[in-house]
Amino acid sequence: MMIRKLRLTWLLVIGGILVACTNASADLSTNSQSNIAKAQTSSIPNYPPMYDVEVKICDNIIAPVKDGKRCIKHKLRLWGLVEEAKLVRTGIPLPSMSAVAHKLAISSKGCYPEYSQPSQPQFYWADLLIYVNKRGAKPTIEVNKTQLSNQKIHELMTSQFSTPRIATFGGVGCKPLPVPVKKK
């Protein structure tokens, strides 16, 4: 009977030691994970502002009708705050045609990934061709922008899977406008 009590006491003592060690190691692993996260955060450089931008052009354009409106949406990823977006006539207004070709010009510091860092603030071409009807009001342009976090920009910059091009830019996209655009 005495041996049984002695074994039970030893089991309780060993169990208490194991529980105490387990809690301490759990605290250490939690602290080490917290320290690793802090170290990673401090090693991320500060990047210039980058924005996900959606441009919506509606009304007097040639586009499919959806929800009773003619609209085209275009997504961009741009360095710096977007100051202005406008349509610039690139086509010749022919008498036999009811619409004229326009391209979207957007002011920023360049587009990602075409520009791996901000460039000169100016107007850049978005790779988007829009046909605007000759008659009627000017199309409306709505710009919605969302600033990316520094962490998200870091992930984009260091991603092994990032491609040199994204679907929204190609061809002559994101080239600076050759001359300043006059306001209409």
Q: Dump pLDDT digits (tens) for 31-84.
A: 555 555 555 556 889 999 999 999 999 999 999 999 999 999 999 999 998 889
Predicted pLDDT of residue 35: 56
148: number of Cβ within 10 Å:
17
Burial label, 117 (beta-carbon count in 10 A; 0-12, 13-18, 19+): exposed
Gap between the Cα atoms of 30 and 13, Å rounded: 26
Gap between the Cα atoms of 20 and 33, Å rounded: 20
Taking only the tens place, the pLDDT of each residue in 146-165 is 999 999 999 988 875 554 44
Identify the bridge partners of residue 143 per DSSP, sorted by sequence position: 55
Taking the CA of residue 33 as centre, how many other CA atoms within 13 Å lie in the half-sphere pointing to its CB?
A: 5
105: number of Cβ within 10 Å:
20
For all residues of the chain together, what is the average pLDDT? Answer: 79
Predicted pLDDT of residue 169: 42
Residues 6+ apart with CB under 8 A from 94: none
